[in-house]
């Protein structure tokens, strides 16, 4: 967790900087500190963009997996279609009235009507 620096702390830091560095070299010190802060921010942004790129790569990999799953479901669709055709043919053959066939009976006893 980063410490929070308020106005009183900044005032103490400025007074100490003026005492130890001197007013003549203070602008040079502030410029150097600013450059270091810019480098730190640039590294932080680079680090963040690396994680964002990794996240994008993970999303692309997930999409590729989904596409492969859909392709395998496409093969399943062909198998189901073949089974449906076979079932349709079987139903058509069993309900075809043009060819005589014996009705299947479940009871071996003759019925008394």
Arithmetic mean of pLDDT, 74-98: 77
Asked whether residue 88 is assigned to any structural domain, the reply reads yes
Are 29 and 14 within 8 A, CB to CB?
no
Q: Give me the phi and psi of 95, to 5 degrees please.
A: -105, 5
Q: How many domains does the chain have?
A: 1
Q: Is residue 77 part of a domain?
A: yes
Share of the chain above pLDDT 70, in %: 77
Residue range 44-59, pLDDT digits in tens? 999 888 888 887 778 8
Q: Is residue 66 part of a domain?
A: yes
4-31, pLDDT tens digit by residue? Answer: 778 888 888 888 888 888 888 888 988 9
For residue 100, being part of any structural domain is answered with: no
* H helices present in 1-113, as ranges: 7-21, 26-94
Number of Cβ atoms within 10 Å of the Cβ of 5: 10
pTM over the 0.85 mark: no
Structural domain of 50: 10-92
- Does a structural domain hold residue 108? no
Does 37 reside within a domain? Answer: yes
Q: Is residue 55 part of a domain?
A: yes
* 96: nearest Cα among 88, 85, 106: 88
């Amino acid at each position: 967790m980063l410490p929070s620096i308020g106005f009183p702390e900044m005032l103490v830091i400025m007074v100490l900087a003026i005492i130890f560095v001197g007013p003549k070299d203070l602008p040079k010190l502030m410029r150097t500190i600013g450059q270091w802060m810019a480098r730190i921010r640039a590294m932080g942004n680079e680090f963040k963009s690396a994680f964002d790129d990794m996240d994008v790569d993970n999303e692309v990999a997930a999409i590729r997996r989904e596409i492969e799953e859909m392709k395998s479901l496409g093969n399943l669709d062909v198998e189901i279609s073949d089974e449906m055709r076979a079932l349709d043919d079987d139903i058509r053959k069993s309900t075809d009235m043009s060819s005589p066939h014996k009705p299947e009976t479940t009871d071996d006893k003759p019925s008394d009507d």
